[in-house]
Amino acid sequence: MATSGTASSFRTSVSASSRLTHLRSSPFKVPNFTPLPSSRSHSFSVSCTIAKDPTFLMAEAEKTKAAGSDPTLWKRPDSFGRFGKFGGKYVPETLMHALSELETAFYSLATDDDFQRELAGILKDYVGRESPLYFAERLTEHYRRENGEGPLIYLKREDLNHTGAHKINNAVAQALLAKRLGKKRIIAETGAGQHGVATATVCARFGLQCIIYMGAQDMERQALNVFRMRLLGAEVRGVHSGTATLKDATSEAIRDWVTNVETTHYILGSVAGPHPYPMMVRDFHAVIGKETRRQAMEKWGGKPDVLVACVGGGSNAMGLFHEFVDDTEVRMIGVEAAGFGLDSGKHAATLTKGDVGVLHGAMSYLLQDDDGQIIEPHSISAGLDYPGVGPEHSFLKDMGRAEYYSVTDEEALEAFKRVSRLEGIIPALETSHALAHLEKLCPTLPDGARVVLNFSGRGDKDVQTAIKYLEV
């Protein structure tokens, strides 16, 4: 396959400037490498700013520019797993085979009727799909202007899924895929625990061994989720290196995968990571957008005018957007976490304040300082607390197909309270970011514009946190 040839040239050129020189010398031997010293505080893979695009990339970029504003001509992704210049497979040699195997399996299962039928059945009876498209009457009223005009707000209820968020769509599909590949062991990393719980859930359902890596600090803060995962039969391994948070857990999980790649499947929770993950996770979440198209047609005989979703890694947003990328009249808006404010230095607004680099195996925007060190992000919502973003989002931003904004912790908390009071639905703090953006968006929309907001999760998990800040 032409892929590996050209791809490996990138790996070499990139790893030359990386700090992981020990990997370059022994491509087939799995080293017992120790994590980088904590002052580095970034994952094993390269994080750097590309100063110059190799010629190959230039050709692709130009091709994309030529495709211009016609999304139907875009390759999302191309055969190298690139979305324009973003994406790719920046990983050690030992993982290349596993990734190719995964890619092959994914493509063949896409057309496998048995697999698709089994997956559809599980999504229906186990997860509870399809999730409703709910007309939020009181929220619509809230945004109605003095002259009676205003947009119509619809909520895509991913909060009603089993485990309370969209994450399960992907977890279920990947577990099924792992079973097909004959893998008996599943690993995953988790920050606050939501992805860990979703993974533990599907492993219980499919009878797979499950190991979740979690930063020791996070374990303390999220004791309830740790218990949940153990109740579901998973083993939760605490990671004490680095800052003992998500990034370190990710490194540990990747290390485990490198070591146990024959028996183990790594369930990545978002549209980040090396190809084929961004594509795979997006496609497993694309059911959200597909249902939305059908439901919009049923409800008002048309398409949505605006799609709004919160963006951490970007999975729920891609799940909603993907179906509509080719419909250029549908506006797509992603909302990131501005934490304490974009100027505070304590936020997670990757697409607004980040630069292009490589993190966790993919080229994308990321929050880094002048030395290419990852900046520790901050958001009140753990799910948005990620210094990177999926490569496809970086692409959609650069192409101008999607717009990205950000919302502070405070604004998110306000929205959390507002929507609970107005609609009787407690949103996850992540989702609250998307809901908060409606305050700025709705006054600009024409009368009758139909907004579909991805209600990506329920807020039961955030009630304790929110109460501390809110006057209830």
Partner 1 sequence: MRCSSSVVDGDRSEDGDGRGGEVEIRDEKTWASLSRGGEEMRYREEDERHHRVSNVLRTSDPPLGSVPTRTDESQFLRGDGNGRFGRFGGKFVPETLISPLRDLEDEFNFVLNDHEFQEELTTALRDYVGRETPVYFAGRLTEHYKNISQTTGGGPEIYLKREDLSHCGSHKINNALGQAMIARRLGCKRVVAATGAGQQGVATAAACAKFSMECTVFMGTADIEKQSSNVLSMKLLGAQVKSVEGTFKDASSEAIRNWVGNLETTYYLSGTVVGPHPSPLMVREFQSVIGKETRRQAKQLWGGKPDVLVACVGSGSNALGLFHEFLGDEDVRLVGVEAAGLGLDSGKHSATLAVGDVGVYHGSMSYLLQDDQGQILKPHSIGVGLEYPGVGPEISFLKESGRAEFYTATGQEAVQACMLLSRLEGIIPALEASHALAFLDKLVPTLRDGAKVVVNCSGRGDKDLDTLIQRGMPSSLC
Mind telling me the catalytic residues? Answer: 167, 189, 456
Helix (H) or strand (E) holding 308: strand 306-310
When binding is defined by CB under 8 A, the residue of 165, 232, 349, 367 that contacts partner 1 is 232
Min dist. Cβ of residue 34 to partner 1 (A): 33
Q: Does 470 bind partner 1 (CB under 8 A)?
A: yes
Q: Does 124 bind partner 1 (CB under 8 A)?
A: yes
- The candidate with the shortest Cα–Cα distance to 386, out of 250, 242, 275, 288, is 250
Distance between CA atoms of residues 418 and 362, nearest Å:
37
Q: Does 185 bind partner 1 (CB under 8 A)?
A: no
Min dist. Cβ of residue 320 to partner 1 (A): 17
Cis peptide before 276 (omega within 30 of 0): yes
Provide the angle, in degrees to the nearest 10, between the axes of the packed helices 277-285 and 167-180.
120
Helix (H) or strand (E) holding 471: none
By C-beta, is 193 or 312 nearer to partner 1? 193
Cis peptide before 130 (omega within 30 of 0): yes
Q: Show contacts with partner 1 in window 414-443 (CB under 8 A).
A: 416-417, 420-426
Q: Does 162 bind partner 1 (CB under 8 A)?
A: yes
Distance between CA atoms of residues 259 and 240, nearest Å:
19
- The candidate with the shortest Cα–Cα distance to 215, out of 175, 255, 242, is 242
By C-beta, is 217 or 225 nearer to partner 1? 225
Q: Does 201 bind partner 1 (CB under 8 A)?
A: yes
Min dist. Cβ of residue 230 to partner 1 (A): 7
Distance between CA atoms of residues 76 and 388, nearest Å:
19
Q: Does 132 bind partner 1 (CB under 8 A)?
A: yes
By C-beta, is 424 or 446 nearer to partner 1? 424
By C-beta, is 115 or 126 nearer to partner 1? 126
- How many C-beta atoms lie closer than 10 Å to residue 238's C-beta? 16
Distance between CA atoms of residues 215 and 372, nearest Å:
23
Token pair 């504003």 is found at 69
Whether residue 395 contacts residue 382, with contact meaning beta carbons closer than 8 Å, is answered with no
Q: Does 131 bind partner 1 (CB under 8 A)?
A: yes
Min dist. Cβ of residue 111 to partner 1 (A): 26
Q: Does 469 bind partner 1 (CB under 8 A)?
A: no
Q: Is 8 exposed, middle or buried (0-12, 13-18, 19+ CB in 10 A)?
A: middle
Binding segment (CB under 8 A) for partner 1, from list 40-48, 135-143, 267-275, 278-286:
135-143
What secondary structure letter does DSSP report for 124?
I
Q: Does 133 bind partner 1 (CB under 8 A)?
A: yes
Q: Does 238 bind partner 1 (CB under 8 A)?
A: no
Binding segment (CB under 8 A) for partner 1, from list 184-192, 203-211, 336-344, 349-357:
203-211
When binding is defined by CB under 8 A, the residue of 4, 24, 109, 134 that contacts partner 1 is 134
Q: Does 463 bind partner 1 (CB under 8 A)?
A: yes
Q: Is 210 exposed, middle or buried (0-12, 13-18, 19+ CB in 10 A)?
A: buried
When binding is defined by CB under 8 A, the residue of 98, 160, 351, 374 that contacts partner 1 is 160
Min dist. Cβ of residue 455 to partner 1 (A): 11
- How many C-beta atoms lie closer than 10 Å to residue 260's C-beta? 16
Residues near partner 1 (CB under 8 A), total: 46
By C-beta, is 314 or 427 nearer to partner 1? 427
User: Cα dist. 272→232, 282, 406 in Å?
Assistant: 26, 10, 19
Q: Does 135 bind partner 1 (CB under 8 A)?
A: yes
Tokens of 234: 């998973």
CA angle 10, 11, 17 (to 5 degrees): 100
Binding site for partner 1 (CB under 8 A): 124-126, 128, 131-135, 137-138, 157, 160-162, 200-205, 207, 224, 227-228, 230-233, 416-417, 420-426, 459-460, 463-464, 466-467, 470, 472
